[in-house]
Amino acid sequence: MKAEVKKQENKVKKKPESENAPSLSLFTPQEPPENAILLLDAEDKISWTTPEERAPDQGLIIYQQAIEKRENFLVILDNAKAYPIATREVPPQANQPVLISSLLTKTAQKESEAVLNQFFLTEPQKTQELLLLSQQGRIKRLPIDELEGVGSRGLSLMKLKEDDRLYGAIFTHEGLDLAIATSSGRVLRYPVREELLPMMSKSAQGLAILRLRYGEHLAGCVSLPHRENLLLISGLGYAKRLAIENLRLSQLGDLGSPALQFVNKQDSLAAMVAARPGSIVLLSTNQNRKLPLEVETVTVTGKDGTGSQLVKLNPTEKIIKAQLLQDTSNRGFC
């Protein structure tokens, strides 16, 4: 599996710039067939395909979901607004994937810098809740059915300060744990329950859940059962798996627990994702390289220590992002 991903990675890197350019002019909007599957790759390009037409070498896919005649899916942007995108506007993979942001209205593109999540509002999805976390550490939990009937002008989900943006928008529900990591290597663990994280309306600003120190920023937000593991990855390529139940439970405003130490002052926590058994994490670097890492090759350890250096980096190269490949619609991390 690792060799196959590596082959895909190399093929993506070798594409000339002209080949990567969107070709919307060649695409006429059309309803996807009944068995179509929506695909989003690691370059944030979106398309659909069918099981019969699906290419063996389809790129590095981070999200896939059967369309099943649904007319729209939702995206959540870093300006804390949700927008619908019509599935008929998505090109087939054979035509050429396009940036998901290019399918937004011009106003939405102007007001935001990143798409944080995308999903169909299905009946199973409606049993979930949406958890929003801002870059400055404010958090909000709201029912997913608040997003029903979102119009083309979008729907504001959270009031943000002028200098704040949304960091993540993930799915959760009562009984799960929530882990929030910062670049200094500390992780805060919270139980998802009404007393600590109450449901709020769309107009609420949210609660201040943690304090960021000077120069510190968020490095991950994950919601998962308390017996599962987290994967922590440093900028210099050190990684460890850590059971979330090894972290003490926090209250609003707590500092959390140190969960990853560093070999020198130049290193920091780059990302934290759910360590799903059998999964592959795609690591992106500041030199535009994408490196696959099999989760089960990473040792499970305690809070102490730097973990193991599993990724070879070039001089001055650092990991800046981690994404789970082949993710499904039940997304519980950012």
Reported as half-sphere exposure (CB side, CA atoms, 13 A), residue 290 has a value of: 24
Radius of gyration, alpha carbons of the chain = 20
Does the pLDDT value for residue 5 go beyond 80? no
> CB within 8 A of 230, min separation 6: which ones?
179, 181, 187, 220, 222, 224, 241, 242, 243, 244, 259, 272, 273, 274, 275
How high is the pLDDT of residue 311? 87
pLDDT digits (tens, 9 = 90+) for 31-48: 999 999 999 999 999 999
> 165, 135 in Cβ contact below 8 A?
yes
* Exposed e or buried b per residue across 36-68, where buried means at least 16 C-beta atoms within 10 angstroms of its C-beta: bbbbbbbbbbbbbbbeeeeeeeebbbbbbbbbe
Does the pLDDT value for residue 84 go beyond 60? yes
Residue 63 Cα distances to 41, 214, 269, angstroms: 7, 34, 24
pTM of the predicted model over 0.85: yes
Tell me the mean pLDDT in the region 216-233.
96
Q: What percent of the chain has pLDDT over 90?
A: 75
Tokens 């509002």 locate to 121
Write down the mean pLDDT value for the chain: 89
Which of 11-15, 36-40, 91-95, 326-330: highest mean pLDDT? 36-40
Does the pLDDT value for residue 50 go beyond 70? yes
**pLDDT grade for 231, boundaries at 50, 70 and 90:** very high
214 forms beta bridges with none
**pLDDT grade for 56, boundaries at 50, 70 and 90:** low
C-alpha to C-alpha distance for 187 and 288, rounded to whole angstroms: 27
Number of H helices, E strands in the chain: 3, 23
Residue 272 Cα to chain centre, angstroms: 10
How high is the pLDDT of residue 11? 47
| Structural domains of the chain sorted by starting position, each given as residue range(s) with its CATH number in brackets | 2-14+35-324 (2.120.10.90)
C-alpha to C-alpha distance for 113 and 121, rounded to whole angstroms: 23
pLDDT digits (tens, 9 = 90+) for 67-79: 999 999 999 999 9
48 forms beta bridges with 38, 92
Does the pLDDT value for residue 265 go beyond 90? yes
C-alpha to C-alpha distance for 89 and 73, rounded to whole angstroms: 11
How high is the pLDDT of residue 272? 98
Residue 213 Cα distances to 130, 205, 268, angstroms: 26, 21, 14
Q: Report H helices in 125-216.
A: none
Does the pLDDT value for residue 24 go beyond 80? no
* Exposed e or buried b per residue across 72-92, where buried means at least 16 C-beta atoms within 10 angstroms of its C-beta: ebbbbbbbbbbbbbebeebbb
> For the residues of 203-218, what is the DSSP string, one character each?
T---EE---PPTT--E
pLDDT digits (tens, 9 = 90+) for 266-317: 999 999 999 999 999 999 999 999 999 999 999 999 999 999 998 889 999 9
How many other CB atoms are there within 10 angstroms of residue 207's CB atom?
16
Euclidean distance between the first and the last CA atom of the chain, given in angstroms as a whole number? 24
How high is the pLDDT of residue 332? 47
> CB within 8 A of 73, min separation 6: which ones?
38, 65, 84, 85, 87, 118, 119, 120, 121
**Lowest mean pLDDT, pick from 51-65, 122-136, 197-211:** 51-65
**pLDDT grade for 329, boundaries at 50, 70 and 90:** very low
Does the pLDDT value for residue 14 go beyond 60? no
